[in-house]
Structure 1
């Protein structure tokens, strides 16, 4: 199959995936997450479009003899109704829509007892809101990290991995992307192609039968993505060496989203996590805009929760207290909504276009 990339950083590329890629992804999914005991079979609620994460997750469900319920348009109220009515066992939503589920008044009265695995991914999720989901939706949250070029399962975090052996929430893991999947080798590489030890930050690179054949009619991009014999994800991260968190993969940022301001490298994901800890913030995006003094001006665009209001100064003080002045946005904007792709990713290129032209 040929699958289009998300197109969040430019013109989409055609990713050539083989039968082996899909078989590997299916095997990893069945190995890594809970499934109903036979003779029971899974019921998967898939929110369109089926061209990305929601679609390929149909394969392991069908391999288990399960059924797929398809929602054509994102409607949080209808989503909750379907989970209860269809006794859904598995589903997937990007973080933005999970936030909407948590804020929906029907959540409190909806029967979610059939859920065994509620996947989240496609974008970083707020640790604070993930902990809220573990309480209000249930101990069923399950992370996956992948990309079109290595579909879905570079690393996995099952529902049980969100908790310590004593049953308490494993706070130190909530900002991670889980552990490298069983049939995948994950390493961290510097700009010169050297593999780095655990704890050091660099580009996340992968070797696996999960990795694509290449980009359709684009040998240059294929060669760039497979330099030094590894698939290059374009994500910056590290493998933890901390006790209790050993071997967990932490994604710091997309390489193209890193902001260099005043000579310092600032990872937008870290700033976004700090912003999402504010009780008034529903979603956010952090970008760099050209600036004569700073090189790039760290800029935050916020979408607030219903009925909330904040001042830029309040937000800046909140972030500064948590991660310091260097990582505090110089500019804070509040928008009614953030531009998103069809799979729920915030389109930072569109935000840059709007603010760059203003």
Structure 2
């Protein structure tokens, strides 16, 4: 349950940075509006008196054509969408110089995809928004200038003006900087609760702090680094493997169009690191070659023990890869 105060607090807090959306600009809506990320940008642009352009469904070509024909200044895309747009065979034929802000979030953006997108949209400032529906939805922002600092570009940014963010241990005590714990968030943007579920609400919101279920750490400059969903952490041979880290390495291989790393039951290791890979059109690579690519860039226990090739990955309507579905189908 989100109040008007919740959603306006988040929108005004993001706009207060002066770098979130273009005041009076033209915002392209291509992500589903039942998902709060797109609805939140609609509210923020509405506050600035801007123009809204709606597409009935996402297609890479449709996004590019709309940017050109409507002189779009701002767009929100999830990383899966960004990858498909910049990978469109006809992408280079479109003049996308009108775009001033590309807001992304919803899942981790592989560094290779981010670099390619920034090169394709050279006039756009990239803004990563981290949060969740229960936070209406923004907790932290990685602003355009932060993307130019290599050690910050992979982070989720700093707490937005309306938000307080901590990283805590299981007992709720804040952990030292650099230590991994659960990300918790407080502020007037925290939800009123889960409808008809008081026990779940009490478990999620404790002493005013929303427990996100995300594992992360805070660096010395106050930048949050989200390493994985706690439920997606793979425990193999008593070592923790953050699946998002392996995702990012695999995504950097030129033959990989998409990938998802999950943990599967293993009699010897408890869980094994398993990669589901979608190859780029016309590309060819073997499982051993991909494992070798990872071995050159990761500790040995993080390298996928098994690699599976698939035609596509299951995604939600919001564009997130459904890792739980992948795990359930293979257990």
Shift of 1:48: 4.2
Maintained 8 Å contact 2:146/2:153 = no
- Give the alignment partner of residue 245 of structure 2, picking from 265, 270, 274: 270
> Partner of 2:30 in structure 1?
47
> Partner of 1:61 in structure 2?
45
Question: How far apart are the structure 1 equivalents of 2:306 and 2:243?
Answer: 14
Secondary structure of 1:215 counterpart: coil
Question: How far apart are the structure 2 equivalents of 1:308 and 1:31?
Answer: 45
> Partner of 2:204 in structure 1?
225
> Partner of 2:5 in structure 1?
20
> Partner of 1:310 in structure 2?
285
- Give the alignment partner of residue 90 of structure 1, picking from 60, 67, 74: 74
> Partner of 1:355 in structure 2?
330
Shift of 1:76: 0.8
- Give the alignment partner of residue 127 of structure 1, picking from 90, 93, 111: 111
> Partner of 1:144 in structure 2?
129
- Give the alignment partner of residue 199 of structure 1, picking from 172, 175, 178: 178
- Give the alignment partner of residue 257 of structure 2, picking from 275, 279, 282: 282
Question: How far apart are the structure 2 equivalents of 1:113 and 1:321?
Answer: 37
Shift of 1:232: 0.3
RMSD: 1.3
- Consecutive unaligned residues of structure 1, counting only runs of 5 or more, are 1-15, 164-169
The alignment status of 1:117 with 2:101, answered yes or no, reads yes
Would the alpha carbon gap of residues 173 and 153 (structure 1) be closer, same or farther in structure 2, given more than 3 Å must change? same
Shift of 1:153: 1.7
TM-score by length of 1: 0.89
CA displacement 1:9-67 (0-9 Å, x = unmatched)? xxxxxxx0011111111102212325446xxx211100142011112210011111111
Secondary structure of 1:266 counterpart: strand
Deviation >6 Å, runs of 4+: none
CA displacement 1:181-201 (0-9 Å, x = unmatched)? 112110100011111121111
Secondary structure of 1:57 counterpart: helix
> Partner of 1:8 in structure 2?
none
Aligned length: 328
Matches within 5 A, 1:341-352: 341-352=316-327
TM-score by length of 2: 0.96
Question: How far apart are the structure 2 equivalents of 1:111 and 1:309?
Answer: 31
- Give the alignment partner of residue 184 of structure 1, picking from 160, 163, 167: 163
Maintained 8 Å contact 1:236/1:251 = yes
